[in-house]
Amino acid sequence: MRIIMLGAPGAGKGTQAKMIASEYQIPHISTGDIFRSNIKNGTELGKKAKEYMDQGLLVPDSLTCDLVVDRIAQDDAKNGYVLDGFPRTIPQAEALTEALKARGEAIDYAIDIEVPDENIVTRMSGRRACLGCGATYHIKYNPPKAENVCDACGKELVLRDDDKPETVQKRLDVYHEQTQPLISYYTEAGVLKELDGTQDIDVIFGQIKELLK
């Protein structure tokens, strides 16, 4: 069961990816985790990636794909995996398709969690983070007992720069330009499944389990 999670930032694909990984006992693989692991372990691929990251540059598609393929070749992924955050672009998707083909494999499902932009802006701009202990809240869905005060440690809650409406909209614009073309790519490959991401988390997960049967 080889799965790719698609969807805009804040659509909830990471949450669903973790739930799938737990339910089916397959690894949840994110490119961020792969980069950190390889850099920490001082692998050759990790050293190459670090050179780019230290300069504030994006890691090239070919190197990112090599890192992902190296990760999915490990023992714990032999029964499948959930890819979260990769591929982000058509060239990355094509590189992954070719690399999997060389292994006699292919992606089984590309699950797209669809959420309108305005919902995502509301969802993310409502987040609040504690400067003291790192706890997170949402002014609508998970508010603190006292306004802008952390329940756990009493420190002030802030709206992170990443979650400001204008920043969220910029990230969404990049997503629509670079990542949304993947919807067509995986539709043509016959593996795309689209779900309404405005529903309750457990309802979405129930639908995912149905389509994975």
Catalytic residue among 140, 160, 170, 209: 160
DSSP 68-122: HHHHHTSGGGTT-EEEES---SHHHHHHHHHHHHHTT----EEEEEE--HHHHHH
Angle between helices 90-102 and 181-188 (to 10 degrees): 30
Amino acid at 39: I
Catalytic residue among 71, 123, 127, 128: 127
Catalytic residue among 18, 155, 164, 171: 171
123 classed as catalytic: no
71 classed as catalytic: no
13 classed as catalytic: yes
Nearest to 193 by CA among 111, 82, 115: 111
40 classed as catalytic: no
What's the CA gap between 94 and 174, in Å, rounded?
Answer: 19
Catalytic residue among 13, 71, 123, 128: 13
What's the CA gap between 134 and 157, in Å, rounded?
Answer: 9
Active-site residues: which are they? 13, 88, 127, 160, 171
